[in-house]
């Protein structure tokens, strides 16, 4: 978790090395829309990448779990549509992702991009363009460094559609180092706080995918009660679970933060504690704990920044619960059928 900024630098280097081919692909007219796919963590990564693609490239983009694309392709790809497939997989060996890609190529024939961490993987061989970062590899079953390196590679590749935005992202490895150094203690304190029995992670827009991923970290590493919701959705039922033993973690967006802060204020009034991650400070009546770290980057480009801290929160919670955070119950690093 702590070495992630090194993998981020590698991710930026891989994107720079493929700059021309990426920019050509973004402008190509051979595809009409984009399907982003993966499994588990890499499906959640797809949920962050698809909104970014749609926002930055102006093309329709949807995140679909690889198993759904494999088993129900006709419910996803409509008649006359000519999609590009954007696959994400740490191992590049997950059966559903590979089979969905093979089916996609046979049936629809559109271009395939993949992001992963293993150059020799089957998925890499199946793709027209592969952005591969061996520096993202990790021994842990749980995806941490790999996830943020793959997210950053996707964000940076998409930012290349608007060159000046890409340039701002070069500061991310340094910012990440600083953020970890300044806020590690808070993650440790909250992860070790046994008053918390339930964790809710809230994020909207592209942050929803990250909230979902961090919820998964908390669940698989520490076996705690943990869920992710879109900010406003949380008020439509799930908030009945909020009590004084609840930590609600909010990942604020750039464009809807007033609504998001209102939800957090409401959760505090119900007795929950809140941890807020944002670019600028928010009113103290909405936050028990705040991580405001002014990066100067737009949400589209900085999303990766807070991940190490939230992974650390799950790590310390796992230690507090007596779990081995590297080896969750019932889980292996790659799921092959
Ligand atoms: C997908 C995945 C991982 C998860 C677990 C099982 O792997 O769901 O996200 O941590 O280890 O497999 P991949 O396709 O990204 O390699």
Residues 82 and 188 in one domain: no
The best mutation among 44, 89, 94 to test binding of ligand 1, ranked by most ligand atoms within 8 Å of the C-beta, falls on: 94
In a domain, 83, yes or no: yes
Query: Domain holding 273: CATH number?
Result: 3.40.50.10490
Asked if ipTM goes beyond 0.85, one says: yes
Count of domains in the chain? 2
Give how far Cα 264 sits from Cα of 65, 212, 276, 291, Å: 30, 18, 9, 14
Q: Which residues contact 29 (CB under 8 A, 6 or more apart)?
A: none
Regarding whether 211 and 85 lie in a shared domain, the answer is no
- Residues 156, 201, single domain; the answer is no
Whether 334 is in the pocket of ligand 1, judged by its Cβ within 6 Å, is: yes
CB of 114 within 6 A of ligand 1: the answer is no
Q: Tell whether 97 and 184 lie within a shared domain.
A: no
Same domain, 103 and 177: no
Residue 35 shares a structural domain with residue 92:
yes
CB of 40 sitting under 6 A from ligand 1 = yes
- Name which residue sits closest to atom 2 of ligand 1, judged by CA: 40
Contact call for residues 206 and 52 (beta carbons, < 8 A)? yes
- Residue range 145-190, pLDDT digits in tens: 999 999 999 999 999 998 888 999 999 999 999 999 999 999 999 9
Q: Does residue 80 lie within any of the structural domains?
A: yes
Is the domain of 227 the same as that of 145?
no
Select from 46, 86, 91 the residue to mutate for testing ligand 1; criterion: most ligand atoms less than 8 Å from CB. Answer: 91
Q: Are residues 209 and 307 in the same domain?
A: yes
- Domain boundary residue, one of 125, 147, 170: 170
pLDDT of residue 165: 86
Q: Domain containing 66: what range? A: 4-170
Ligand 1 contact via 9 beta carbon (within 6 Å): no
Are 119 and 235 contained in the same domain?
Answer: no
pLDDT value, residue 164: 85
Q: Mutate which of 39, 220, 325 to test ligand 1's pocket (most atoms within 8 Å of Cβ)? A: 39
The pLDDT tens digits along the chain (337 residues) read 999 999 999 999 999 999 999 999 999 999 999 999 999 999 999 999 999 999 999 999 999 999 999 999 999 999 989 999 999 999 999 999 999 999 999 999 999 999 999 999 999 999 999 999 999 999 999 999 999 999 999 999 999 998 888 999 999 999 999 999 999 999 999 999 999 999 999 999 999 999 999 999 999 999 999 999 999 999 999 999 999 999 999 999 999 999 999 999 999 999 999 999 999 999 999 999 999 999 999 999 999 999 999 999 999 999 999 999 999 888 999 989 8
Last residue of a domain, one of 170, 199, 214: 170
């Amino acid at each position: 978790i702590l070495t992630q900024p090194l993998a981020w630098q590698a991710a930026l280097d891989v994107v720079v090395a493929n700059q021309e081919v990426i920019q050509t692909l973004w402008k190509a007219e051979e595809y009409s829309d984009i399907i982003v796919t993966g499994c588990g963590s890499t499906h959640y990564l797809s949920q962050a990448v698809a909104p970014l693609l749609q926002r930055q490239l102006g093309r329709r983009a949807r995140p679909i779990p690889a198993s759904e694309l494999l088993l129900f392709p006709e419910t996803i790809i409509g008649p006359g549509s000519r999609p590009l497939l954007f696959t994400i997989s740490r191992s590049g060996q997950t059966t559903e992702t590979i089979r969905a890609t093979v089916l996609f190529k046979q049936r629809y024939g559109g271009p395939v991009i993949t992001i992963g961490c293993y150059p020799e993987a089957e998925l890499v061989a199946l793709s027209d363009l592969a952005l591969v970062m061996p520096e993202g590899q990790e021994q842990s079953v749980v995806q941490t460094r790999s996830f943020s390196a793959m997210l950053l590679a996707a964000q940076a590749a998409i930012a290349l559609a608007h060159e000046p935005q890409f340039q701002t992202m070069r500061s991310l490895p340094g910012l990440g180092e600083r953020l970890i150094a300044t806020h590690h203690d808070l993650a440790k304190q909250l992860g070790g706080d046994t008053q918390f029995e339930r964790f809710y992670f809230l994020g909207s827009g592209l942050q929803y995918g990250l909230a979902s991923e961090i919820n998964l970290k908390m669940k698989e590493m520490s076996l705690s009660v943990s869920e992710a919701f879109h900010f406003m959705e949380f008020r439509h039922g799930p908030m009945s679970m909020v009590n004084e033993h609840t930590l609600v973690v909010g990942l604020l967006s750039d464009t809807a933060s007033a609504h998001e802060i209102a939800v957090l204020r409401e959760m505090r009034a119900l007795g929950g504690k809140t941890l807020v991650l944002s670019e600028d400070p928010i009113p103290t009546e909405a936050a028990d704990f705040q991580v405001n770290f002014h990066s100067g980057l737009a949400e589209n480009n900085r999303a990766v920044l807070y991940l190490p801290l939230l992974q650390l929160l799950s790590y310390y919670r796992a230690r507090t619960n007596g779990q081995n955070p590297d080896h969750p119950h019932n889980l292996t690093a790659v799921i092959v059928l």
